[in-house]
Structure 1
């Protein structure tokens, strides 16, 4: 189970590209990378999951926590590049109604 997390920071914009699988084994690494970034005041975080082949509930938990931290610090949080399978996961759990998700990649993190 591997995960790769590439982060690009430019002023308040933080672009994160995640590749691999997000599960109980890799979620702690994702949390470790994203939580400090989510605590920056006014951060605009965009997470690209187009290269994520699998995600379970621990991955969802990480994104909920990051989303809450970003919002608590007056920032914006968006997830892009969701496969149909991942989009469905966000929809089933109701997170698609709370978190800004988009299957399309609009410039930025590639």
Structure 2
């Protein structure tokens, strides 16, 4: 499975496919780790098209969050699917990751944080 990856204003935008599970979560972990190794610490994980996520997918999303935050970055998620939102709620990851309705909103938050 392939991820669509873009860089906008120093933020790495990763568009997740319809499923994020054990079959493709390691690839996501590797992608995030590669960017972190290159000193990129700001990520937006776009789950707009995602219909299913399991525990390995959740683990991939949070795999480098502490490292990113320790270096002035963060991981933000864009989620519109109510079932996916419920998973974040049940696992309490909604307390760890800030949810946005659009990529633009998440980008604006990164840009506003940069100006403070």
Question: In the alignment, is residue 107 of structure 1 matched against residue 104 of structure 2?
Answer: yes
8 A Cα contact 1:42 1:73, kept in partner:
no
Q: CA deviation at 1:62?
A: 0.9
**TM-score, length-scaled by structure 2:** 0.78
Runs of 4+ in 1 over 2 A off after TM superposition: 38-44, 106-109
RMSD: 2.2
Aligned with 2:86: secondary structure? helix
> Which residue of the other structure, out of 65, 68, 74, is the alignment partner of 2:66?
68
1:37 alignment counterpart: 35
8 A Cα contact 2:45 2:61, kept in partner:
no
**TM-score, length-scaled by structure 1:** 0.82
> How many pairs does the alignment contain?
106
Aligned with 2:22: secondary structure? coil
Structure having the larger proportion of residues in strand: 1
2:50 alignment counterpart: 52
C-alpha offsets along residues 41-61 of structure 1, whole Å, 9 cap, x if unaligned? Answer: 463211111111211000111
Question: In the alignment, is residue 7 of structure 1 matched against residue 8 of structure 2?
Answer: no
8 A Cα contact 2:22 2:57, kept in partner:
yes
8 A Cα contact 1:70 1:76, kept in partner:
yes
The runs of 5 or more residues in structure 2 that have no matched partner are: 107-116
2:75 alignment counterpart: 77
Q: CA deviation at 1:68?
A: 2.1
Aligned with 2:16: secondary structure? strand
